[in-house]
Chain A
Amino acid sequence: MNCRSEVLEVSLEGRQVDEALLALLHTILLHRSTGKFHYKKEGTYSIGTVGTQDIDCDFIDFTFVRVSSDELDRVIRKAVAEFKDALGNSGSDGMGQISLEFYQKKKSRWPFSDECIPWEVWTIKVNVVNLANEQERQICREKVGEKLGEKVINIVEVINRHEYLPKMPTQSEVDNVFDTSLKDVQPYLYKITYQITDSLGTSVSTTMRRLIKDTLAL
């Protein structure tokens, strides 16, 4: 199985980074989350209900929809904040990328640890620009809003190709496919990583990998 990889690029102002990344990551997770599974006897299960919420951006003329889950929102915000800090501290020209990777776990026998097999990776490349005056900021506000709209359409187009999705797991294997730690929703297993591009444009000068969500028991 090949891992599906999609890349989205955005150029924006420093103060727009948070909202733009939240918009895109939440749009992806909206499509990659289900309700909580409740397994019954005889191998059947029922699925909980996913609520949605409109979020207005303050620095971008844009509104996006996210899953109504404060827990999930906190996790994503934390990841985005870390990325933004790294971007600001790196001394680079404001270029970096953040990746949202969906994976499946494949149990291995001891002493080998479980294998994480990605099946879909979304990479958002960020280019931070500095603007000189308020008029440029206003234009940027609108332009970035339009760009994000295009990116949402791209995301939807990819997702609706209905390419590979992990099979629905049995109760014993649900943790290999889904993140079951949240109370209200159940996204596919995912991790968020990021890289800051140094001023020379090489992709790795300082590579920082942080596992935001680590469900490995070992």
Chain B
Amino acid sequence: MDSDLSPQDRKDLDKFIKFFALKTVQVIVQARLGEKICTRSSSSPTGSDWFTLAIKDIPEVTHEAKKALAGQLPSIGRSMCVEISLKTSEGDSMELETWCLEMNEKCEKDIKVSYTVYTRLSLLLKSLLAITRVTPAYKLSRKQGHDYVILYRIYFGDVQLSGLGEGFQTVRVGIVGTPIGTLTLSCAYRTNLALMSSRRFERTGPIMGIIIDHFVERPLSNTALLHPCNYRAPVEEEGGAYAGVEDSQEVCTTSFSTSPPSQVEASPDPAAFTHSMSGTFMYLTMAVPGKEGGVPQVLLQPSHGTQADHGRAPSCPTADMPHQAPPSSCSSGDADVLSRSSELKSASPSDVLETTFTRKVGAFVNKPTTQVTTASLDLPFAAFAPKAYDLEENDPMVHPPASPTPSSPLQGSLHSQSSSQSGGQAQDDFVMVDFKPAFSKDDLLPMDLGTFYREFQNPPQLASLSIDISAQSMAEDLDSLPEKLAIYEKNIDEFDAFVDTLQ
């Protein structure tokens, strides 16, 4: 089939395919920068705008694409793929989509290379521009920033779609027949975005010097699953390429989230990684609103017995500490807490609280804490906490303060202060700090529901409902009953006369 193609046509075709591949990568990566793209039309041809489209070239992206292609062109059995993935600031990552430029054997021999193929490639690029704004990853990329970043990886060879999860969808952008084969451009995208794939921690470089690898073994041996990432960590000058990485992966977003639109080079942006995580993209943590800039904390329940007499909550990391510090110290503190959760009352407060990061302090904490913590009512995070025992004990819904049967020394002490004392005094002993009541919105607004709970948590007991007094009065009533009956019998005539007047 090649013999029908003149050398000039073959040369032109190869050039078209090469630049088409490079422009395809540019369009895809630029569509995932998180910004709106705008280029100007020009009535005069500049000679440098391939396919008569104004598509800027980000030098690093071109460099990566050329490196991946390594002088080859997409051909039968060797496809060029651009993989887009999402990575949270804690190291979780998820593949979102894979764009594939493939070539198959079906040839269109009679097609004119210099005009028809060129025009159709131009049309295909326009289609790519349109379709890149339609797949689910586009919206995610527009919202990237502190919580997560979007990364790209270019590779050449067999298409790998296993990382897209079950039920991924495919959209075909278009095809262009050429004398040497038919080029097909398509996209396979993940549909199950809600599921953050388990614990597939990747072999990532250290972020700010902290390696996040708790809870999970690193699958270092399984290179098929790894998507090495060249994080441009703020303190590192190098791209951070790791040994054994065949394909480079670059952070698209270090300049995307905070850099001005005019900046086209992917330079590291410290701001993207030093900001603490405010809202939660995923399931993991809760931010403490407004207090320490939302330093992420792992939910932990202190063991129940610590409440009655324990000291202060551990010191929180200050707002300007890197936010990765809590997870690392958490990994050592977690085990301590969990192992001690079964020892209720015997656990001394100092044992539990010797970790240096902030953990949640449950309700009824005896001493007021100067640190901000979140309380214990976040049931979705119960998986991280010592189990239901603590939750139930601390839950004011389950054990309201006025309960007559103290189930813990804590509540016993509450009750002993009882109704004769004002609720204010009872409140002095128990400090409710910033807990999130069920069904309240944990957004930026002040938590009125939480404030309400706090204020009316320990109302004074009504005197008449006091058990002692009521018990006492009943006993007296019973004792005085015979005397009263005797008196009534004596005055029976008066009662009868009274009744007669009523008739």
Seen from chain A, the residues whose Cβ lies within 8 Å of a Cβ on chain B are 27, 30-31, 34-36, 38, 46-56, 61, 63-65, 67-69, 149, 152-153, 155-157, 159-160, 162, 168, 183-185
Contact = CB atoms under 8 A, between A and B. Distances in A.
The 7 A-B residue pairs with the shortest CB-CB distance, nearest first, are A160-B174, A54-B36, A51-B39, A184-B41, A51-B41, A51-B54, A149-B134
A39 to B, nearest CB: 12
B501 interface: no
Given A52-B54, A156-B174, 18 more contacts: A30-B130, A34-B52, A36-B43, A49-B45, A49-B46, A50-B54, A54-B37, A65-B129, A65-B130, A153-B134, A153-B171, A157-B172, A159-B174, A160-B123, A160-B174, A168-B115, A184-B42, A184-B43
Contacts of B130: 27, 30-31, 64-65, 152, 155-156
Contacts of B43: 35-36, 38, 48, 183-184
B18 interface: no
Nearest to B122: A34
A38, A55, A156: which has the most chain B beta carbons within 10 Å? A156
A53 B127 contact: no
A49 B133 contact: no
Contacts of A55: 36
Contact of A31 (B42, B123, B172): B123
Contacts of B11: none
Given A35-B45, A51-B41, A53-B38, A156 B127 contact: yes
B120 A162 contact: yes
10 contacts: A27-B130, A31-B127, A48-B43, A49-B46, A49-B49, A52-B54, A64-B130, A160-B173, A162-B176, A162-B177
B173 A156 contact: yes
A49 B38 contact: no
Contacts of A51: 38-42, 53-54
A186 B130 CA distance: 19
A61 B142 CA distance: 12
B126 interface: yes
A79 B123 CA distance: 25
Contact of A61 (B54, B120, B139, B173): B139
A51 B176 CA distance: 22
Nearest to B42: A49
Contacts of B54: 49-52, 68
Contacts of A38: 43-45
A35 B129 contact: no
B68 to A, nearest CB: 25
B175 interface: yes
Contacts of B123: 31, 159-160, 162
B208 interface: no
Contacts of A185: 41
A24 B49 CA distance: 26
A48 B38 contact: no
Contacts of A49: 41-42, 45-46, 49, 52-54
A103 B44 CA distance: 26
Contacts of B453: none
A35 B172 CA distance: 26
Contact of A63 (B36, B46, B171): B36
Nearest to B50: A49
B384 interface: no
B41 A47 contact: no
B138 interface: yes
A57 to B, nearest CB: 11
Interface of B: 36-46, 49, 52-54, 115, 120, 123-124, 126-127, 129-131, 133-134, 138-139, 142, 171-177
A38, A49, A153, A162: which has the most chain B beta carbons within 10 Å? A49
Contacts of B176: 162
A35 B171 contact: no
Nearest to B55: A52
Contacts of B39: 51-53, 68
Contacts of B45: 35, 38, 46-49
Contacts of A36: 43-44
A160 B175 contact: yes
Given A160-B127, A162-B120, A54 B133 contact: yes
Contacts of A46: 45
Contacts of B138: 63
B37, B38, B43: which has the most chain A beta carbons within 10 Å? B43
A18 B28 CA distance: 28
Contact of A64 (B49, B115, B127, B133): B133
B36 A56 contact: yes
Contacts of B175: 160
Contact of B52 (A48, A63, A159): A48
A68 B38 contact: yes
A153 B131 contact: yes
B264 to A, nearest CB: 16
A204 B304 CA distance: 76
A54 B138 CA distance: 12
Contacts of A63: 36, 133, 138, 142
A65 B38 CA distance: 9
A48 B42 contact: yes
A52 B53 contact: yes
A155 B131 CA distance: 10
Contacts of A157: 172
A64 B134 CA distance: 8
A55, A69, A160: which has the most chain B beta carbons within 10 Å? A160
Contacts of A61: 139
Contacts of A67: 41
A174 to B, nearest CB: 14
A50 B173 contact: no
A37 B130 CA distance: 24
Contacts of B44: 36, 38, 48
